Structure 1
Amino acid sequence: MKILAVDTSTTSCSVAVVDKDLLLAEMTIDREQTHSKHLMDMIHTVMGFSGLAVSALDGFAVTRGPGTFTGLRIGISTIKGLAVASGKPLVGISSLDALAEQCACSAYLICVLLDARKGEVYFAGYRFQNGVLKKEIDERVLPPRQAVRDINEPSLLVGNGARLYQDTLAETMGGMAFFAWPCQNTIRASTVAWLSMSRFEKTETDDVATFVPQYIRKPAAELNYKKSESVRVDFDVSLKGCGYH
């Protein structure tokens, strides 16, 4: 099964083509630029190195979130466009699941932390048992200290949130905090592709028409709109109380 996979959920951008358990080509960059500037060029480059045409692919995989709102929209809209144009299926993968998978053989509890900005992280906990990675703590967004304060066992911390808040996490967890290798903190598109395989095989694909990012936290624009609406309602009520309505 030949899959083109993309990750744009963080500042890094990764594109890969895999054929079953074989990695044909992969490219990952981390630059302070919007992913729209280079994603399509990366896809063309990786497809060229793989020696495949889009028509030869069996499907597409993409991280669905959580992550940066703009990055997710760019990656998902690009892959949806390719899926619609080619008539091939699409599978969305959790960005937290992908990072956990890159540490899957750890004997410790795997704590994935992605920077959510505003002093918070996207967080989930996993455990690798009997060759299977299981999610033990559901995805959530909260301050880093709060994310790990109830964990009382040795844990492997991975993700750009773990790197950003390393001192805070180490202070909170004491000697139970162990940090992943730097290379494990970046999501690889090949990991996204391999995680999607079982769903493609079971035909548990996503509906391309309705597939959207899963943010966990609502975008700032939506929150600001609701806040302004609340202020407007309160203002209208106050005017009525003064006899102006």
Structure 2
Amino acid sequence: MIILGIETTSARGSVALVKDGAVIAEYTLAQSLRYSRHIIPAIHKILTDTGYDLTYVDRIAAGIGPGSFTGIRVGMAIVKGLITQSAIKPVGVSSLLNIAFNSSASTATACVYAQNDEFFMQKFVASEAGEYRTQNECSIVSVEKLFKECEGGVLCSPDLERLKVSNEQSEIMKHVYPTGSTAALIAGSLSEEERCSKQFMPLYIRRGEAEFKGPKVFKL
């Protein structure tokens, strides 16, 4: 199975190609949220350099958030365009799950900046097989609660510079970005039943809606 992975939810995007559980190639995009000008050429390049084209691709995995509002929309819109009039299956991958996998920690509290000194946060625990299972729903929390929630584990995020922490707190932190290769590997580990049960829609969480209505999902 060949899977194209696209990750655009953080300041460092990437595209990757995975075949039968092995990463063939991965290209990191410029640290900018203007992905529309970078990602299409990157996809073309990775396919050309590896000797493939979209007719070989079985699935396209993309980060669905939480993260950059602009990055999520751009990435998913590109996927929607790529799969038009084709049999390619899209798979949405949580950005926080992606971060947890990349942390390699046995217990990982993954978080990304949510504006106003708050963070999107979700806690994961790794099984002996290396699979990460969530311990709670994604939520928006203060910095104080973030550190409380990550007790006994590692706090991993692409946005650690947003945190003003003590030396003691910094010892449990790990700078981790979500990546296209991990999105593709996660998508490849899903059974057909698991894949079909997941809707390919972006996840947008905003403070006001999260408080009063819970997480809200919007279709493209």
Report if aligned partners of 1:96, 1:124 keep a CA contact under 8 Å in 2: yes
Residue type of the partner of 2:51?
G
Q: Kindly tell me: are residues 75 and 176 of structure 1, through their superposed partners in 2, closer, same or farther at Cα, counting changes over 3 Å? A: closer
- Residues 93-104 of structure 1 correspond to what in structure 2 (within 5 A)? 93-104=93-104
Match of 1:196 in 2: 187
Relative distance call for 1:49 and 1:201 in structure 2 (3 A) is: farther
Is residue 2:172 matched to residue 1:186?
A: no
Residues 122 and 175 of structure 1: is their aligned pair in 2 closer, same or farther, counting only changes over 3 Å?
A: closer
Aligned partner of 1:16: which letter? Answer: A
In the other structure, the counterpart of 1:2 is 2
Secondary structure of the corresponding residue to residue 204 of structure 2: coil
Residue 43 of structure 2 aligns with which residue? 43
Letter in 1 for 2:124: Y
Tell me the SS of whatever aligns to 2:137: strand
**Which whole-Å CA distance do the structure 2 matches of 1:206 and 1:110 have between them?**
25
Give 1 or 2: higher helix fraction.
Answer: 1
Query: Which position in structure 2 is the counterpart of 1:54?
Result: 54
* CA distance in structure 2 between the partners assigned to 1:23 and 1:45 by the alignment: 16
Whether the aligned pair in 1 keeps the contact of 2:140 and 2:207 (CA below 8 Å) is no
1:92 aligns with 2:92: yes
Mark the CA change 1:119 to 1:9 in structure 2 (over 3 Å): closer, same or farther: same
Alpha-carbon distance between aligned partners in 1 of 2:79 and 2:122, rounded to the nearest angstrom: 25
Relative to 1, partners in 2 of residues 1:150 and 1:96: Cα closer, same or farther, differing over 3 Å?
closer
User: What is the CA–CA distance in structure 1 between the aligned matches of 2:169 and 2:74, rounded to whole Å?
Assistant: 39
Structure 1: runs of 5 or more not aligned: 221-245
* Larger CA Rg, structure 1 vs 2: 1
What TM-score do the two structures reach when normalised by structure 2? 0.84
Q: What SS does the aligned partner of 1:137 have?
A: coil
Q: Residues of 1 paired with 2:85 and 2:10: CA distance?
A: 26
SS of residue in 1 equivalent to 2:64? strand
Q: Is the 8 A contact 2:125 2:132 kept in 1?
A: yes
CA RMSD of aligned residues (A): 2.4
Deviation per CA, 1:134-172: give whole Å up to 9, x if none: 21132111222222225542x21111233421x33x47x
1:216 alignment counterpart: 205
Output the CA distance in 2 between the equivalents of 1:157 and 1:203.
Answer: 28
Number of residues paired by the alignment?
208
- CA deviation after TM superposition for structure 1 residue 120, in Å: 1.3
**1:128 match:** 126
Aligned twin of 2:217: none
Question: Which residues in structure 2 correspond to 1:146-161 (within 5 Å)?
Answer: 146-153=145-152, 155-161=153-159
Query: Which secondary structure does the structure 2 equivalent of 1:85 belong to?
Result: coil
Residues 54 and 86 of structure 1 are in contact (CA less than 8 Å); yes or no, is this contact kept in structure 2?
no
> Does residue 1:118 correspond to 2:112, yes or no?
no
Bigger Cα displacement from structure 2, 194-203 vs 57-66: 194-203
What SS class does the counterpart of residue 119 from structure 2 fall into?
strand
Instruction: Give the match for residue 138 of structure 1.
Output: 137
The 8 Å contact of residues 112 and 162 in structure 1, kept in 2 or not, is answered as no
Q: 1:79 to 1:151 in 2, by over 3 A?
A: closer
Give the partner amino acid of 2:206. Answer: R
- Alpha-carbon displacement from aligned partner over 1:71-110 (angstroms, at most 9, x marks no partner): 1000001001111232311110000000101123x24x21
The alpha-carbon deviation at position 177 of structure 1 amounts to 4.7
Greater alpha carbon shift after TM alignment, 95-104 vs 122-131:
122-131
